[in-house]
């Protein structure tokens, strides 16, 4: 198992089970072999055999929780993780696994407890420190997060992801920065992803020091290598946007059966890095609204309801199958999947930006849900997406590795939003980030009124909201509204010509 020699490990377990069919550890290791090969459903079934034989083994329960979390069965994952933690495990890996699961399902405070115990047991495990830092970051414990990132780097000096996370968290100053350390690491980094982490870290620190053009050079350098490595083409995105418009047009809207009557969900959508988290914090500062975070639940509910068996969560087959699903069942599936985190307040916010693809399906499945779309100046939107380091294994963000690709993607997004306005007039509230910054109270009142809620002054004090933030804006939204990000694109002059030219070619004004 340690050598990932899964075939030989499987043979060993099979021999054990032929001699002793009830051997719990053999069933468990069979499950871990399946897990190692990314066969999560099979892994869960095998681990469950072990749990049935030894129900109070915290390692079994922790790994069961991990499988359930990866399958987005969050309620069951939370239950299994809490059962495992209640057994007082002493193994660092088990404690770390429990902590990661708790963080994944939104129980960040309990995650900090488990992860703190993990690093106490195994202080030299760099990943444990990194996971603890992430949990602290979600809770707004920035000093503790910084210390944990530094501990991760101390345990593994070439832990490139931790270097990036630390730079992203801490504002560099002339007297306190990591530029020399990062440049030395970049000189000997051979892996494309490692160089990407370091280039993003260097860009962030040079940006903090006021050298925007040098920061852009590092971003272009790191992202160009990554784009070449993944052989990305924007053609796949064009087909996806076109399919959504084709299948979710006026005919689908008119013929869709009445969906689930719940008015509980409030969807906040839009291009990433356009103020979606800011608006989410304003709305969830209201006593009647819970922050559920960025959920993939609607996308997965549609995928499963339509019976699509392709690997991608969203693809052409999923879209074509989605228009045939029972809309009330789709709405019910979605709501059930958000429990037990939701359901304790009259409303919850689902702030998955990429749900902009699903507006037609959301309208059909949950006709009483609110949909709010964030907009931002096209140039700032494109630049902010290019500046962001999204998850490297998430192909939906592959457009963000090239300035021209970002602009083309924005143009497709812009057309899709115009499509939703045509086929669903008045159904979606479009809010501009610049307007929220310019007149916070007026726009906040507009948002609260659209959600059908009575005004509460706490919505103006959103930065005091203590609920966790599991997004790239975790630090920014704990500050009062600021305007320093508005018009950032103007600092770069002709260096952003690839964005401007693509947008203007698509008829999008940028001045």
For residue 296, what are the CA distances in angstroms to 48, 147, 303, 338, 465?
A: 25, 31, 11, 10, 23
For the whole model, what pTM was predicted? Answer: 0.89
Mean pLDDT of 125-145: 96
Only one residue has tokens 């939370």, namely 78
Mean pLDDT of 308-335: 94
Domain ranges of the chain: 157-231, 235-505
Task: Check residue 311 and give its pLDDT.
Answer: 84
What sections of 273-356 are H helices per DSSP?
A: 276-284, 297-306, 316-322, 327-337
pLDDT in tens, 186-215: 999 989 999 999 999 999 999 999 999 999
Q: Tell me whether the omega of the peptide bond preceding residue 488 falls within 30 degrees of 0, making it cis.
A: no
Question: CATH 3.30.980.20: does it fit domain 235-505?
Answer: no
Task: Check residue 510 and give its pLDDT.
Answer: 87
CA 129 to centroid of chain Cα atoms: 20
Give the integer Cα–Cα distance in Å for 481 and 469: 16
Residue 345's SS3 state is coil
E strand map for 347-482: 347-350, 370-375, 428-432
197-200: Cβ within 8 A, 24+ apart: 197/160, 197/161, 197/163, 197/164, 197/222, 197/389, 198/160, 198/163, 198/164, 198/222, 199/223, 200/164, 200/167, 200/168, 200/389
pLDDT-derived band of residue 292, with 50, 70 and 90 as boundaries? Answer: very high
Residue 249's SS3 state is coil
Task: Check residue 131 and give its pLDDT.
Answer: 97
Query: 470 or 360: which carries more pLDDT confidence?
Result: 360
For 265, how many CA atoms within 13 A lie in the half-sphere containing its CB?
33
Structure tokens at 15: 């021999």
Query: 479 or 463: which carries more pLDDT confidence?
Result: 463
Task: Check residue 479 and give its pLDDT.
Answer: 60
């Amino acid at each position: 198992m340690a050598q990932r020699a899964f075939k030989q490990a499987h043979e060993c377990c099979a021999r054990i089970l032929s001699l002793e069919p009830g051997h719990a550890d053999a069933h468990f290791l069979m499950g871990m072999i399946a897990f190692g090969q990314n066969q999560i459903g099979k892994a869960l079934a095998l681990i469950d055999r072990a749990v049935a034989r030894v129900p109070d083994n915290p390692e079994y329960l922790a790994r069961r929780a991990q499988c359930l979390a990866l399958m987005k069965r969050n309620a069951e994952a939370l239950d299994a993780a809490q059962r495992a933690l209640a057994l007082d495990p002493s193994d660092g890996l088990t404690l770390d696994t429990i902590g990661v699961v708790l963080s994944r399902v939104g129980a960040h405070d309990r995650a900090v407890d488990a992860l703190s115990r993990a690093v106490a047991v195994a202080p030299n495990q760099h990943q444990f420190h990194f996971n603890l830092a992430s949990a602290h970051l979600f809770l707004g414990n920035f000093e503790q997060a910084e210390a944990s990132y530094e501990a991760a780097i101390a345990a593994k000096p070439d832990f490139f992801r931790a270097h990036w996370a630390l730079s992203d968290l801490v504002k560099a100053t002339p007297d306190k920065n990591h530029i020399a350390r990062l440049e030395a690491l970049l000189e000997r980094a051979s892996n494309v992803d490692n160089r990407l982490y370091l280039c993003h870290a260097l860009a962030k620190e040079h940006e903090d020091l006021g050298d925007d053009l040098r920061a852009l050079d590092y971003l272009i350098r790191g992202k160009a290598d990554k784009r070449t490595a993944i052989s990305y083409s924007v053609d796949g995105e064009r087909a996806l946007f076109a399919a959504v418009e084709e299948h979710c047009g006026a005919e689908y809207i008119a013929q869709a059966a009445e969906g689930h009557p719940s008015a509980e969900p409030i969807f906040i959508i839009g291009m990433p890095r356009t103020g979606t988290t800011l608006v989410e914090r304003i709305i969830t500062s209201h006593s009647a609204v819970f922050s559920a975070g960025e959920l993939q639940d609607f996308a997965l509910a549609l995928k499963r309801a339509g019976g699509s068996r392709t690997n991608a969560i969203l693809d052409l087959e999923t879209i074509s199958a989605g228009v045939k699903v029972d809309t009330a069942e789709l709405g019910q599936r979605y709501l059930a999947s958000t429990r037990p985190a939701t359901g304790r307040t009259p409303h919850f916010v689902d702030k998955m930006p990429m749900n902009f693809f699903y507006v037609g399906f959301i309208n059909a499945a949950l006709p009483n849900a609110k949909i709010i779309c964030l907009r931002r100046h096209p140039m700032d939107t494109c630049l902010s997406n290019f500046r962001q380091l999204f998850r490297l294994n998430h192909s939906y963000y592959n457009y963000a590795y090239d300035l021209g690709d970002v602009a083309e993607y924005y143009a497709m997004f812009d057309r899709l939003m115009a499509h939703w306005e045509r086929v669903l007039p008045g159904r979606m509230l479009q809010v501009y980030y610049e307007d929220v910054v310019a007149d916070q109270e007026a726009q906040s009142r507009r948002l609260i009124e659209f959600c059908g809620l009575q005004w509460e002054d706490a919505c103006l004090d959103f930065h005091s909201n203590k609920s966790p933030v599991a997004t790239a804006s975790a630090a920014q939204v704990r500050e009062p509204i600021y305007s320093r990000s508005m018009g950032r694109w103007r600092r770069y002059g002709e260096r952003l010509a690839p964005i401007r030219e693509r947008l203007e070619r698509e008829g999008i004004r940028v001045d």
